Chain A
Amino acid sequence: MEPIEMKKLQVEIDQLANREVYVHLETTNGAYASHFNKDAYNVGAFIRNAKVTYQRGKVVGTGSTYRVGLKLDIGWIYAEGVNQFEVDEEGRLLMAGHDREGRLMVALQIGETPFHY
């Protein structure tokens, strides 16, 4: 993955608009958050292979952290904190945000074919 360049990422998001796509969206602070810090909470959510079509998608942000929103006919998909992206070997758009230790905190991925597993 490489650091997000808004113009480059926007081109990729536009290319996948108005067609049927599969989305993986997740956020997590890990299963050990409250184990290592009793004041922390374990929170996380993921959805894998949600089949949607978005009319418009946009990346917005300043500095090194970005938000991505996808406008659906009857709703929205939203991710905050992404800072890296790539188009992988299978042509899927992967976006993710990592912390200082390289741990994934948030991911938004869009593909024209379902994700594996």
Chain B
Amino acid sequence: MQEEHVVVIYPHPDDEAFGASGTIATFREKGIPVTYLCGTLGEMGRNMGNPTFATRETLPEIRKKELIKACEIMDVQLEMLGYRDKTLEFESKEEMAEHLFSYLNKIKPSLVITHYPGHAVHPDHDAFGAAAIAAVEKFPVDERPTVWAQAISLTHVEELGEPQIKNDITPVFKQKFAAITAHKSQADGMLAKVKKESEDAEKAAQSWLGVESFYIWDFKS
């Protein structure tokens, strides 16, 4: 029996918080180790805090600190892979897959969580998700971890059907909200927007971030 270990592969600091921190918290509560392979430092993010406190040049260091803090809150191992925001689709997919595989081959995860290529809206999400799946394909078929692919496109249910995994993360929403707010430069704008519509930002956020859904990737092997 393979030892359980979850690897989360996303390109930007905060993708893990918005997308999967409830699921991550649930794994951690069961004592299952989680490693986050974070592709970039979100160097080209538009959000500079609200009111602004970052510049294009200070943003990478700020987001790096926020990422480290979020990972402490989620109690996950963090690896920063050193790519540059907005450029992943122009990198070599094969080289990125090799790079990701070098981590996966050491960790031998039971589950990989990443974006669903073609249904992840941001070009970095699509490119890194595709590289992550190519990395998993480097394992022999019987040694491959399960892949949970996250789709966020408006058309994913119509085109792919309902996701097989729908995690109601209400019981761990406090942890999710804490992970999100650790990314202060990015969360400020979102929280201000939510606050405008509701007195209680945490409660309002829960209504649209309370479920984390994933498709089980079909390797067609």
| Interface residues of A, Cβ cutoff 8 Å to B | 1, 24, 26, 28, 30-32, 35, 46, 84, 86, 88, 92, 94, 96, 98, 101-105, 107, 109, 115-117
Contacts and interface: CB of A to CB of B under 8 A. Distances in A.
Interface of B is mostly: loop
A102 B188 contact: yes
B56 A102 contact: no
Interface string B3-47: 000000000000000000000000000000000000000011011
Given A98-B48, A102-B50, 20 more contacts: A24-B56, A26-B56, A31-B122, A31-B124, A35-B121, A35-B154, A46-B44, A88-B55, A92-B57, A101-B47, A101-B50, A101-B192, A102-B51, A102-B189, A103-B47, A103-B189, A104-B47, A105-B46, A107-B56, A109-B57
B46 A103 contact: yes
A67 B137 CA distance: 50
Interface residues of B, number: 26
B121 A104 contact: no
Most buried by A among B49, B56, B58: B56
Contact of A102 (B52, B84, B121, B122): B52
A101 B188 CA distance: 9
B138 interface: no
Nearest to B50: A102
Contacts of B60: 116-117
B193 interface: yes
Nearest to B122: A31
B122 A32 contact: yes
19 contacts: A24-B56, A26-B44, A26-B56, A28-B46, A31-B86, A32-B121, A35-B121, A35-B153, A46-B86, A84-B52, A86-B55, A88-B58, A92-B57, A94-B55, A96-B48, A98-B48, A102-B52, A109-B56, A116-B60
